[in-house]
Structure 1
Amino acid sequence: MKQNVSKEWFAIRTKPQQEQVAKLHYERQGYVVYLSMMRTIVRHARRTEEKLKPFFSGYLFLHLAPDERNWVAISSTRGALGPICFGDSYVSVPDWIIADPQAKEDASGAVPLADLQKKGLLPGTAVAVQLDDDTLAQGLFYSFSGQENVVVLLSFLNRQVKATLPLDRVQRQ
């Protein structure tokens, strides 16, 4: 009688910029592959375009049952360098590492980074702003300014002053 053995995710290193090649060849071999993508903006010669790039650059993930773990075949697949291991031990990746980005993917299969960062920030939301290592200021979220900056209303000398800051300095309260 066969046991119902659960599959586990394993991280596979790929050759530089060969994630799609490795994914294609693993799928041809019948493996379940996950390659999380994100949308990035590329600027070159006065042109701006949006491209999809791997979320985990240089890695993809295989969902493997114990009888599918042919590490020699996995390591010799075109575009791949091999699974992540410590000595002779191949370490699985927790399911949530895969499930979290998968759940956030849009219709094109990309994880919308800007939406993840902006989550919960609406005009008028109270925020804490890190001004320097020791100083926190209270303010109100006003708007986004590009992909990585926000405009915040800070109270200064009994007035509301607009300040444009990096998104990583602002936390919702």
Structure 2
Amino acid sequence: MQSWFAVVTKPRAEAIAFDNLQRQGYTCLWPRVRRSLRDAKGMRERVECLFPSYLFLRADPETESLAPVRSTRGALGLVRFGSLPARVPEAVIEQIRARLDPGDGTVRLDAPTWAPGTKVRISEGPLSGIAAIFLAEEAGDRVRMLIELLGTAREVVLPRLQVAARI
């Protein structure tokens, strides 16, 4: 019976391992995510690995050998518990596949939803590290927060990407 396995890859060699494993006839899944990053030229979108240094492989270890995986260019081997390769539950793979964008194949990660009054932490930007209270959603993927700054409570509007999960 076919199962999913996690493959450990060399750092930043997921694409090489993915291509080489597929050439060997394995069914593979390499989940990537689109992320907005700020650099010197402004905001840019990058496609990054959802799980850096890992990808998933589907095989039937009863009928096909998994030994070639560890000698595949870009791959280090399978994740193992003792001597047995660790199986990834089918439900995990289905959750990832359900979020795949049909256009570019990246995984869509839904922004967390917070109820008004939820305590969060600002993770990026000039207010990084400051605790805040979520007030409301704003247009254009922005959020309204209440922060304490210089001894007084202030409302600020920030990009949602700059706010981390709950405290």
TM over 0.5: yes
Q: Which residue of 2 aligns with 1:61?
A: 56
The match for 2:111 among 112, 117, 123 is: 117
Q: How does 1:1-173 map to 2 (within 5 A)?
A: 6-46=1-41, 48-67=43-62, 69-106=64-101, 107-113=103-109, 116-118=110-112, 126-130=115-119, 140-143=135-138, 150-152=143-145, 162-164=155-157, 166-169=163-166
Q: Amino acid of the residue matched to residue 5 of structure 2?
A: F
1:18-72: per-residue Cα shift (whole Å, max 9, x none)?
Answer: 0010000011001000000101234444254322111111100001112455232
Q: What are the Cα deviations for residues 57-100 of structure 1, in whole angstroms up to 9, with x where unaligned?
A: 11000011124552321110000000001221111011122111
Question: Contact 1:37–1:52 at 8 Å: present in 2 too?
Answer: yes
| C-alpha separation in 1, matches of 2:22 and 2:120 | 49
1:110 positional shift: 0.7
- Structure holding more helix per residue: 1
List alignment gaps of at least 5 residues for structure 1: 1-5, 155-160
Please give the root-mean-square deviation of Cα atoms over the aligned residues, in Å. 3.2
Q: TM-score, normalised by structure 1?
A: 0.70
Residue deviations 1:80-139 (CA, integer Å, cap 9, x gap): 0000012211110111221112111112111123xx115x67xxxx5331279xxxx7x7
Number of residue equivalences: 148
Extract unaligned runs of 5+ from structure 2.
122-132, 148-153
Cα distance in 2, alignment partners of residues 24 and 76 from structure 1: 14
Q: Quick check: 1:142–1:153 contact (8 Å CA) kept in 2?
A: no
Q: 1:78 to 1:163 in 2, by over 3 A?
A: same
Higher-Rg structure is: 1
Q: Which amino acid in structure 1 is aligned with residue 108 of structure 2? A: P
Q: Which SS does the other structure have where 1:128 is aligned?
A: coil
Please list every run of at least 4 consecutive aligned residues from structure 1 whose deviation after the TM superposition is greater than 6 angstroms. Answer: none
Contact 2:21 2:72 in 1 (8 A): yes
- Contact 1:7-1:64 within 8 A present in 2 as well: yes
User: In the alignment, is the contact (CA less than 8 A) between 1:142 and 1:152 conserved in 2?
Assistant: no
Output the CA distance in 2 between the equivalents of 1:144 and 1:28: 45
Q: Aligned pair in 2 of structure 1 residues 85, 142: CA closer, same or farther (>3 Å)?
A: closer
